[in-house]
Structure 1
Amino acid sequence: MSGMIERLPGWPALPDLFGWVETGFPGTHAVAGLHHIRIEEHLTDGTYVVRAELPGIDPAKDVEITVTEGVLTLRAERSEETTEKHRTEFRYGTFARALRLPAGAQGEEATAAYKDGVLTITVPVPETKTGTRTIPVQHG
């Protein structure tokens, strides 16, 4: 074997296997040419925060964020050109991600900011009161 890694018949190559981490399981992309946006999300102190990794975009014209029936949808298009001494490289594509907002989230009050290739979306989620309420009975 002397330094070579042998691939077993029927087993995927390691780059293909680890590619699932980035792109999801094969066959899960329903729309050709649509790429996945990597995100992190958390809910703390009455605020739902989504951070999306979107380097190389102009947020003013390349990003669309919508909230419909409790679903936050993020779409972005990237068209980037890198020119070096003897070559030019293009990176482009459409990216999308849809997330269900937590119960009670006020999507109409969401805000977004873009800095250093990361888009941060903040949605207020007021805490609901879960205490006991006594209901008086009226009699006639």
Structure 2
Amino acid sequence: MSNLSRFDPFSLEPVVSDLFQGLFRPMRSMATTQDAELASMKIDVTESEGAYTVKAELPGVDKKDIDVQIDGRIVSINAKVERNKEEKDGERVIRRERYSGAFSRSFSLASEVDDAKATAEYKDGVLSLSLPKRAPSDQKRLTVN
């Protein structure tokens, strides 16, 4: 007599389920990292004698959902990303990794910006700001009597 046990395919179900779940764990943490990267908004700021240039990566953002505010030396960029639900009748979402939400970035420059002459352009997922420096105001000297 042999001591062979009968194969039960259902005994593998927990093992296969754990394996399947494990395949997505690294991607889940990667999605969180991607969300954090998008929410942190990568920017480049350069300075010339008369102006600052700012380039901000805003992939997947609609131009109407971008708001730029200038208050003296403070520049704030706010953006909103909304992903439409693409579910159809009879379908269910197995995985959703695309970012949806709002994010912002504020930073201070060394000189005040002339907001009346500032311009913004959005093309190919990159927001470009041209921020001319405000001319230094004439200092008034007081005569000491």
In 2, distance between residues paired with 1:40 and 1:82? 33
Deviations 1:100-138 (A, max 9, x none): 13314313321100111000011012676xxxxxxxx9x
CA distance 1:81–1:91, shift in 2 (3 Å): farther
What is the DSSP-based 3-state SS (H/G/I as helix, E as strand, rest coil) of the residue aligned with 1:49? Answer: strand
* Residue 40 of structure 2 is aligned to residue 36 of structure 1: yes
Residues 81 and 91, structure 1, Cα contact 8 Å, conserved in 2: no
Which ranges of structure 2 fall in alignment gaps of 5 or more residues? 1-28, 137-142
Residue in structure 1 matching 2:50, options 46, 50, 63? 46
In 2, distance between residues paired with 1:114 and 1:96? 16
Instruction: Say which structure is richer in strand.
Output: 1
CA distance 1:82–1:71, shift in 2 (3 Å): same
> After TM superposition, what 4+ stretches of structure 1 lie above 6 angstroms from structure 2?
none
* Residue 73 of structure 2 is aligned to residue 65 of structure 1: no
Match of 1:123 in 2: 131
CA distance 1:112–1:69, shift in 2 (3 Å): same
Shift of 1:73: 0.6
Shift of 1:70: 2.1
Residues 63 and 74, structure 1, Cα contact 8 Å, conserved in 2: yes
* Residue 119 of structure 2 is aligned to residue 111 of structure 1: yes
Shift of 1:95: 1.1
Which ranges of structure 1 fall in alignment gaps of 5 or more residues? 1-14, 25-33, 129-136
- Give 1 or 2 for the bigger CA radius of gyration: 2
In 2, distance between residues paired with 1:125 and 1:23? 32
In 2, distance between residues paired with 1:45 and 1:82? 47
RMSD: 3.5
Residues 72 and 112, structure 2, Cα contact 8 Å, conserved in 1: no
Question: Between Structure 1 and Structure 2, how many residues are aligned?
Answer: 101
Instruction: Say which structure is richer in helix.
Output: 2
TM-score norm. by structure 1 comes to 0.57
